[in-house]
Structure 1
Amino acid sequence: MALDGIVISNIVAELNSTILNSKISKIAEPEADELLLTLKGPNGSFRLSMSASASLPFIYLTPTNKVSPLTAPTFCMVLRKHIANGRITKIYQPGMERIINFEIEHLNEMGDLCHKVLIIELMGKYSNIIFTDSDGTIIDSAKRIPASVSSVREVLPGRAYKIPATQEDKYNPLTVDSKQFVDIISAKPLTVSKAIYSSFSGISPLVANELAHRAGLDADSPVAAYSHDELLHLGSNFTWMMEDIKNNRFTPNIVRDGNEPKEFSSIELTQYSDLTVTKYESISEVLELYYSERNAYTRIRQKSADLRKHVNTLLERNQKKYSLQMKQLKDSEKREKYKVYGELINAFGYGLTPDDKFLEAANYYDDNKIIKIPIDNTKTPAENAQKYFDKYGKMKRTAEALNELILETKGQIDHLESIQNSLDIALSADDLVQIKDELIEYGFIKKGKGSKKQKVKSKPFHYISSDGFDMYVGKNNYQNDELTFKLATGNDWWFHAKGMPGSHVIVKAENKELPDSTFEEAGKLAGYYSKGKNADKVEIDYLQKKNVKKPNGAAAGFVVYYTNYSLTIHPDISDIRQIE
């Protein structure tokens, strides 16, 4: 429930302060289940975009126009017929429901003043845009719901509009005081969070978790685990929040993990102290930004899905191979025993008889302890000794070959994990181009016939330290190489998360001494853009670029260094300014 009742209250307050009494000058339906109204009124011109999409319902003011189909859909034509040039006289939210009603007055064909209601229900897969007469009779809707689809609530022309049925045990949070709040949630054998959002309309799990956090309670603990006083304190936080909503005191904000949008709300979210919380003046700006950014992340995840699957498959295959090779290497460590057997048979085998199946001899390699050596009595002592020497030689050759194979397999695993990290931080299709090129170059993907190398537009991340130093972060192994061996000069500083896949971070020192704060910020970037991003602490290696070397034949992004400094950081980059 991204658009909860509190966000809807914020939207209604914003719309009342901007488009109330505006005239509807244009009505368009750019996508199925989506309307774009162009409005002109006392406060200027606005575009109001609304969607009843099952996967992404929304409503917000936007400066962006959208191309509409040449032939307007039926619902759009109905709206144009009735309310084109109509005036919005009232905008309200019933209770704390995820519903917004627009009352509109207009002149009919006879010049008589008429009233209509445009209702947008923002309820996930049940979302709809419904157009009714002033008496509640449905004229039409974006989605027609016949009895065959829902026996509870038909949405068809000519039927009476009914507000969607809410759960009978849900209360309007705006009418509940702290004592009533405690009585309500105490009656449910649920966790604190679930007891709140299942008891009150318009309250999402996000808001319920926020209330628990503000009260110092664990949202996932049972209500029964807390005393009456602790629950009263929770109730006080609840009523304080509701007072803010009643008085239109909203704090539109987006919570981001680095560049990725995680949540949005109309209340301040104190539960995300380790993430970046950006506040905005307008809830419309929040919604448009959040959805566009979230869509960008969703699209890049979809576009990279095949690459991720391929890399994950190769990684699992190499990890299994590595595990088997390590087991075989461990088994080959027994070879020294066979060498000793052969030497002891040569030294003491002269006393064997044709019936002997074992040779008991003093092992002069182990304080003359007596050992029992199996003997093939069909062979001479010399042949028995040679059999053990042959076995030793074979296992020795196997161990030598395995050591090379293990290094090769480990190199493949490290390389694939670094590519996996590059996929995690990719933000655009251009970022994926270089990653795919790398997979092709190193034989992880076969090059398609006739495929041409695409022009690369992806660039490293660029940040500025609080002391004004440029800091660059590679998005993939090609960029890591370019930053370290082309952009950086000898006295620039190089940072990398210790012992794990991650980006190279370069700080351009410009022959100056770096302040401690810049070292810390660069370390945070190295930690954040590594496999340790979600860890509480990450150890970072750092040194001047002149001490970083690339071995001959090493894969892109792989370097060696022998002297370095270390620092331990929490990978939070929320306070570091990004340029591009």
Structure 2
Amino acid sequence: MSFDGSFTHAMVNELQTKLTGGRITKISEPYPHEIIMTVRAQQQNQQVLLSANPTYARIQTTEVPFQNPKVPNNFTMTLRKHLQGSFIKEIHQVDNDRVVHLHINTRNEIGDLEELVVVVEIMARHSNIILVEAHDRNIIDAIKRVGPDKNRYRTLLPGSKYVNPPHQDLLNPFQLHDFSIIEQLEHDFPNVESLATELRQTLQGLGSDTSLALAEALHQAGKPLATNYTDFWKRFATPDPVTTLSAQGKLGFAPFPYPPLETDHHFPSLSVLLDHFFQTKVQRERVREQGAQLIQVTRTELKKNRKKLKRLAQDATEATNADQYRIKGEVLMTYLQQVHPGMTSIELPNFYDNNHPLQINLKPELSPVANAQWYFKQFQKKKNAGQYITEQMQRTQAEIDYFEAIESQIELASPENLADIKTELQQAGYLKRQTKKQPRKVHVSQPERFVASDGTVILVGKNNLQNDQLTLKTADKRETWLHTQKIHGSHVIIRSFNPSDQTILEAANLAAYFSKARDSANVPVDYAPVKRVKKPNGAKPGLVHYTGQKTVYVTPDPQLVEQLRRNATHR
């Protein structure tokens, strides 16, 4: 489903329970049009995500890690100035619309108590986050400023009066007490799909999935319509968050199981549900946006080297047939008296194969002897080229393997890992530096930290520079190293000298999940002591050789990965 008004209603209930009375301690904008507020409430820190992303707009608490940009933008600085250190008074939804108000008690520059409102409008490409003075509704600033040239009805600029989004003449389903209109719709539209369409045009804040689920509930036999209606909306107060699958296999989410959709997984809260649903989806979009240049360079190099390898394979085939040139030269020298100037081809006996005469092409501008000498030269040339071609094929295949690994890392990367990949390509000369000045020391980001069921720390590298740093410098030689067998993937380190079998399996699951075999089953993962892992001289970043390994087979489990990630955030 979409993040419609009904889902917003359930989310606001969850946020009220978690955040009311909490103190805002930090404010960041890790990605464009997305704000993270750290709120200290109920003796723990909560990360509150306010997103005005046109595709993934929403409000929730989140446990997904993020990297704070070095330089905050103007809107972030405005929020910090007015909100940092203040307290959340209340959170409420406007009717059943996708508009949420966070009322915040703060003090102004002279110390007087005042109330501000953070307005989160979840409206696709019109989504916005606006800071408003509660008393006179003056706009302090907006994450997306909208001038009168773009919208005459609503100007969202500092100093303007805040105007609510255009009101829909629809009924709030949570405040409906006269069920006659619903009974009339149910009577006029006995078909579930038709009833769902009419419900969307009558009740406020219903997405297509919600209206279809309500229509199914209203048709439930054995109870009065009013009871079915009331029971349906009561479930939003006590949600059972789930991901859903449509008949076509499309993944969605809902505050509780929505028939006729198939339930995929249950989650402990709406925010955990959204973390699971959006993490991969949003991350892929951000990587595509921020890593477009890296993706282009990688694809170009792969295309060039695959084309080169194909050409070298053809040359190698010719080199293996070099003896044919020698034989033709020898046959020509043997039967020179039968070769006349100006001939373009001749058929001569082949003393290497008496049963098959040899057809020899000739260059008419050359003499018979010169033609024979040309064949001897071609023989020597191709013979000498054979070893060179073999070396070139090995190097070209190594380039292909390298860029396939880079491509896999970009596919699995989080946006903060892209900087390391960019640095690596710049160091290798595949990507030009923006400045000619060479940095004295390359700063490599930290590998991701997980914690196994028994409390053992597991580190996972997300790119070649991280992998080299983790395996060759960070890890103790007595710790355990893991990697998918003959499959591009991450280096994984278990920070234990004697890990349990369970920890090895959990680390192997991480190695398989953060590899090109993420969607495969029974993935082979090798593990060995770090001291058995060596880097060959002159090898590209991320490439190592290892010996004395053992192998386990695992099927990547995203839920286990999330559990090990949550273990790390709670320790």
When normalised by structure 2's length, the TM-score is 0.62
Q: How many residues align?
A: 498
What is the CA deviation profile of residues 93-131 of structure 1, one whole-angstrom value per residue up to 9, with x for unaligned ones? 64x54356999xxxxxxxxxxxxx999764234458899
What is the CA deviation profile of residues 390-420 of structure 1, one whole-angstrom value per residue up to 9, with x for unaligned ones? 1222233344333222222222232233334
Alignment-derived partner of residue 183 in structure 1:
191
What is the CA deviation profile of residues 59-80 of structure 1, one whole-angstrom value per residue up to 9, with x for unaligned ones? 6799xx98647999xxx9xxxx
Mapping for residues 409-428 of structure 1, pairs under 5 Å? 409-427=396-414
Query: Aligned equivalents of 1:159 and 1:456: distance in 2?
Result: 45
Mapping for residues 133-282 of structure 1, pairs under 5 Å? 164-165=167-168, 183-185=191-193, 202-204=205-207, 207=209, 243-247=231-235, 248-251=237-240, 266-267=255-256, 273=264, 278-280=267-269
Quick one: percent identity of the two aligned structures? 25
1:326 and 2:281 equivalent? Answer: no
Mapping for residues 64-463 of structure 1, pairs under 5 Å? 68=78, 94=95, 97-99=97-99, 122-126=122-126, 164-165=167-168, 183-185=191-193, 202-204=205-207, 207=209, 243-247=231-235, 248-251=237-240, 266-267=255-256, 273=264, 278-280=267-269, 303-352=290-339, 358-363=345-350, 365=352, 368-376=355-363, 381-427=368-414, 429=416, 431-446=417-432, 448-454=435-441, 456=443, 458-463=445-450
* 8 Å CA contact retained: 2:309, 2:397: yes
Q: Which amino acid aligns with 2:3?
A: L
Alignment-derived partner of residue 71 in structure 2:
none
Q: Which amino acid aligns with 1:465?
A: A
How big is the shift at 1:204?
4.0
* 8 Å CA contact retained: 1:469, 1:508: yes
Q: Which runs of 5+ in 1 are unaligned?
A: 37-42, 77-86, 104-116, 132-137, 189-193, 213-230, 256-261
Query: Aligned equivalents of 1:543 and 1:158: distance in 2?
Result: 65
3-state SS of 2:449 partner: strand
Query: Aligned equivalents of 1:300 and 1:318: distance in 2?
Result: 24
487, 491, 496: which one aligns with 1:504? 491
CA gap 1:246/1:475 in 2 versus in 1, 3 angstroms: same
Q: Which amino acid aligns with 2:123?
A: M
**Root mean square deviation of aligned Cα:** 6.3
* 8 Å CA contact retained: 2:243, 2:263: no
1:475 and 2:475 equivalent? Answer: no
Query: Aligned equivalents of 2:202 and 2:352: distance in 1?
Result: 78
Query: Aligned equivalents of 2:461 and 2:51: distance in 1?
Result: 40
* 8 Å CA contact retained: 2:242, 2:264: no
How big is the shift at 1:185?
1.3
Query: Aligned equivalents of 1:249 and 1:99: distance in 2?
Result: 21
511, 526, 551: which one aligns with 1:526? 511
CA gap 1:332/1:196 in 2 versus in 1, 3 angstroms: farther
Q: Which amino acid aligns with 2:233?
A: I
Alignment-derived partner of residue 228 in structure 1:
none
Query: Aligned equivalents of 1:328 and 1:347: distance in 2?
Result: 29
CA gap 1:233/1:435 in 2 versus in 1, 3 angstroms: same
Q: Which amino acid aligns with 1:554?
A: A
* 8 Å CA contact retained: 1:155, 1:161: no
CA gap 1:491/1:11 in 2 versus in 1, 3 angstroms: closer
CA gap 1:266/1:493 in 2 versus in 1, 3 angstroms: same
Query: Aligned equivalents of 2:35 and 2:347: distance in 1?
Result: 94
Alignment-derived partner of residue 225 in structure 1:
none
Q: Which amino acid aligns with 1:185?
A: E
Query: Aligned equivalents of 1:378 and 1:158: distance in 2?
Result: 91
CA gap 1:464/1:477 in 2 versus in 1, 3 angstroms: same
* 8 Å CA contact retained: 2:168, 2:204: no
CA gap 1:263/1:368 in 2 versus in 1, 3 angstroms: same
How big is the shift at 1:494?
3.5
How big is the shift at 1:432?
4.6
569, 577, 580: which one aligns with 2:554? 569
Mapping for residues 16-55 of structure 1, pairs under 5 Å? 55=54
Query: Aligned equivalents of 1:118 and 1:551: distance in 2?
Result: 56
Q: Which amino acid aligns with 1:435?
A: I
CA gap 1:195/1:347 in 2 versus in 1, 3 angstroms: farther
CA gap 1:403/1:243 in 2 versus in 1, 3 angstroms: farther
Alignment-derived partner of residue 9 in structure 1:
9
* 8 Å CA contact retained: 1:7, 1:266: yes
3-state SS of 1:471 partner: strand
Q: Which amino acid aligns with 2:511?
A: A
Query: Aligned equivalents of 1:293 and 1:343: distance in 2?
Result: 67
Query: Aligned equivalents of 1:35 and 1:505: distance in 2?
Result: 32
3-state SS of 1:385 partner: helix
Q: Which runs of 5+ in 2 are unaligned?
A: 37-41, 63-74, 84-88, 104-116, 222-226, 245-250
* 8 Å CA contact retained: 1:339, 1:388: yes
How big is the shift at 1:183?
0.5
Query: Aligned equivalents of 1:519 and 1:69: distance in 2?
Result: 45
How big is the shift at 1:3?
2.8
CA gap 1:240/1:416 in 2 versus in 1, 3 angstroms: farther
550, 567, 570: which one aligns with 2:535? 550
Alignment-derived partner of residue 110 in structure 2:
none
Query: Aligned equivalents of 2:340 and 2:480: distance in 1?
Result: 74
How big is the shift at 1:474?
1.9
When normalised by structure 1's length, the TM-score is 0.61
3-state SS of 1:342 partner: helix
